């Protein structure tokens, strides 16, 4: 597996990482714990070194799972987790964001305990908190770095102004935002800014939350995607119509649509890392194999013609989720 640098501070990870969220929750019922641990073990065997979790996933249970699954290979992997939400005591959807310095310090200690590690490799602010100046957040994480509790600082779904202000206080190694053929908004300003500042980019939901891998109208009950505009009504039907041409391109290349989508993303720049999520070993192996697919300029043009950047219908998030995005 090819390694890629994130930022200028020395962080190096596999080109394809693993988004761990749906090992615990999110896209339908989670797998049994032993099966989830098996996915983590197989990911390491396949050369994956970046594992992405968050206190929010579960909540809390995902960090414990990831910590257990990676304990024996701790020196070979990079563990990323996130802070920044107010999570109700009983779990469930967060009541809001919270990046007050005292909260960041407290949840860092809690994440370290759940993960069973001494240092978080990459610590992201999960969502920007408009009530706390980003300079205070960056300074707080910088202090955690100096104290040895964190190695590298990241931002998730941050807008250009926030990235610039944070980076001026403490170096940002990675910005994580949704990016795929299905969601290309970061190309306008965020990705060019990251390149100008020397910040790496981590693409979450690189398969369009599974849409580009063939997930469609038949989602399981309780699946988080039922609540999102792109997966509802006329928007879903319009989006499904995009898949036929794309699937034909994948068939012609003798790969799966998921692999073609990941290969396209990895060809957008050597500073981009993808973290597709899955709770199945077979899908994990399929995703990892995408790192070995080479695409010509004509291939990339055909892919983008099949899924034009302005053809996808519906917002990425519902109103509550959209309100948490920084612009």
Sign of CA dihedral 44, 47, 49, 55: negative
Q: Is the peptide bond prior to 59 cis by the omega test (within 30 degrees of 0)?
A: yes
* Helix (H) or strand (E) run with residue 156 in it: strand 150-156
> Do residues 286 and 16 touch, judged by C-beta distance below 8 A?
no
Helix axes 134-146, 101-115, angle to 10 degrees: 40
* Helix (H) or strand (E) run with residue 61 in it: helix 61-70
Burial pattern 283-309, b for ≥16 Cβ within 10 A else e, equals: bbebbbbbbebebeeebeebbeebbee
Burial of 79 (0-12, 13-18, 19+ CB in 10 A): buried
Q: What angle do CA 117, 43, 292 make, to 5 degrees?
A: 130
Question: Given 27, 57, 123, 152, which residue is catalytic?
Answer: 57
Active site residue 179: no
Q: How far is CA 100 from the centre of its chain?
A: 23
By DSSP bridging, strand 11-14 and strand 3-6 are: antiparallel
Catalytic residues: 57
């Amino acid at each position: 597996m090819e390694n890629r640098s994130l930022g200028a501070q020395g962080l190096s990870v596999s080109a394809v990482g693993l988004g761990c969220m749906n090992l615990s929750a999110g896209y339908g019922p989670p797998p049994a714990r032993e099966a989830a641990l098996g996915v983590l073990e197989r990911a390491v065997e396949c050369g994956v070194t970046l594992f992405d979790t968050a206190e929010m996933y579960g909540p809390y249970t995902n960090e414990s799972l990831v910590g257990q699954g990676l304990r024996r290979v701790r020196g070979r992997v990079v563990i990323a987790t996130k802070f920044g939400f107010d999570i109700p005591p009983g779990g469930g959807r967060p009541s809001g964001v919270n990046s007050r310095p005292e909260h960041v310090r407290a949840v860092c200690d809690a994440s370290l305990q759940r993960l069973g590690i001494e240092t978080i490799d990459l610590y992201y602010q999960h969502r920007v908190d408009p009530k706390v100046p980003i300079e205070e957040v960056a300074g707080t994480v910088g202090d955690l770095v100096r104290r040895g509790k964190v190695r590298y600082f990241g931002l998730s779904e941050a807008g250009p102004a926030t990235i610039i202000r944070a980076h001026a206080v403490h170096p940002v190694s990675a910005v994580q935002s949704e990016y795929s053929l299905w969601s290309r908004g970061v190309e306008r300003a965020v990705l060019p800014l990251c390149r100008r500042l020397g910040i790496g980019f981590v693409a979450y939901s690189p398969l369009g939350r599974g849409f580009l891998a063939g997930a469609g109208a038949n989602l399981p009950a309780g699946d988080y995607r039922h609540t999102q505009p792109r997966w509802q009504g006329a928007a879903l039907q319009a989006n499904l119509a995009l898949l036929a041409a794309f699937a034909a391109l994948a068939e012609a290349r003798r790969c799966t649509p998921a692999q073609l989508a990941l290969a396209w993303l990895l060809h957008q720049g050597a500073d981009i890392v993808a973290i597709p999520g899955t709770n199945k070993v077979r899908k994990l192996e399929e995703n990892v194999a995408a790192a070995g697919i080479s695409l010509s300029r004509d291939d990339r043009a055909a892919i983008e013609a099949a899924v034009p950047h302005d053809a996808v219908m519906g917002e990425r998030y519902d109103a509550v989720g959209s309100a948490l995005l920084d612009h």
